[in-house]
Structure 1
């Protein structure tokens, strides 16, 4: 894999840490700024909403500039947002910095997705994506727990400074590692109207929708994992980070494995992994009162969730190869639509605490049903257009 991919992954690691780090920092942050916990909690959905809106918008704006210039610009805005956030004593200013960070994160990831696949041969897109998205999974394993520990030791502002510092080697890597002109720059000459037509194709729409459903299932359960660990499982609060780390470790394994298989065997991954993912969520709902089983299943579910998610995103980029600007943007938006919708729906089914697991099972079942229906429709169309039909 080209070296620039690893610098892009480092930036994605910093951004993934930033996206999820507030979960362990909100009480300290609220006390320091003199606001209620509910008011401080608005910082989390602001980031997610900015990701959904920002991906298509940021990818289209500045389209005439080179991909490298835009990647650097997004990274600089992201870095500046965290420096200002670390210095401010105002919640509205901090909220504005979170929105700016989300917009730049969305734009960077949208461009990074297409850049990563443009830097490798056309049959290795899945492998390239696994390297890039490993940054997110490592953030869940190490970045977020590490941020929580740093926040406990040195305060929430230290975590913002740490994320800003992480951006510095990523900036140098993009500046000196990403070519001034990449294949993505050449492909971006495609008119936006033509790109939109590519993304309206049934297979591209299906891959985006399925990715959103699977991600909604993932984050719906992950967001409300703590009440299950300390409730039905009967473990102490100290086990919550360990449970999250297990899920993150599984995620890293799933992304890595999918990267090796998604290019050649995407159908097998989805056909085998989809039913297993559904079964796993049902098993978690039924066996959450058994701590050893719960922890083991979290490792498996992390691998399945992110392995299937990576495969679906790689299919988006294969199906929408003629939409170099909008493909990565829409893939980013789809993932974040799921990240917003899943926890929002899970909040409605928290009684019993295992309700989010059942919701996740339902979302995966909907994805599988949709995939089977689309496959049947495609076969019917193929049979109708076959010679002699």
Structure 2
């Protein structure tokens, strides 16, 4: 088996025009069937498995075995908890189930920091599969998810378009789409959106991301590292180039995933919604990597707030939400990786959201006082809106510079001149 996998090519998802050409040919039977409101369930699973296998071919063959082990692990946990939940509801069983489901991801994230090598359990997409399975356990506990069959779980976990980097879908939404093929009119509209998403994704990823990431960013890094010091003006060039590269690269990938999902009759949620016109940080996180942001909001932030309020850890609701913001974003930072700059990135946004909420409350108080005294309210017009966008954009860019790890290289790693 390992010999066959090493013989296969290693295809990066959405990496080349050839990949798209072969993928579209493979999807043609699915597209034709959906035009007549039919699903080719076995064939769809075969296509997903085939392209996932090719994703782990060649030098990445060990990741295929890690994926198989991971799927078996998560299947046992989810169905064991489902069986238990139908009879009882002990919170510690729930907590242990979540921890065990997270264990492979924790090992993968911690191993490089502790041992300096990648874990053998790691594979491309482990984070996004973990989000899927952990959300299912939480929804089973909440009673929002009643029953999960093996095949519905399996096809949700191996859904090829989004397996490597999202967007993060929810089981109930996905399963409803899968079990209810769209009408012909709806499917034609989905095809139209799919074509637009793939074309826009190609512009983002192959032109704009290439320009900022491959052409400009290496040059800017080179001159900034040569300039040296704690900070230099050349680092600003790195900051903006990296921030724009990250957006166009990831947004482009997400558009590809959404487009292919729509061709397969699944309305995968949007991941980016013009994030650089956000007026404040809260608005930014409602626009940037939305499926991740909403996942953390629903399954981490809201639960932290609920637990802290239930146990009356803080008397003030604002203190509770502030602590929850900080913990939520710090956890998100750790999820990206156990390095100081990822964790600092999370803390940066946690503090930013706390300041954001403080200002919203402060503004309401000021306006209430001014209104009571017969004074005009604080200005809220297109100019203040534009100022908010400008400030937010630059604050986000500073955070993405931190996220990039470039400051770690500038500050702590010698660069010969």
TM-score when normalising by structure 2: 0.27
Q: Structure 1 or 2: larger helix share?
A: 1
TM-score when normalising by structure 1: 0.29
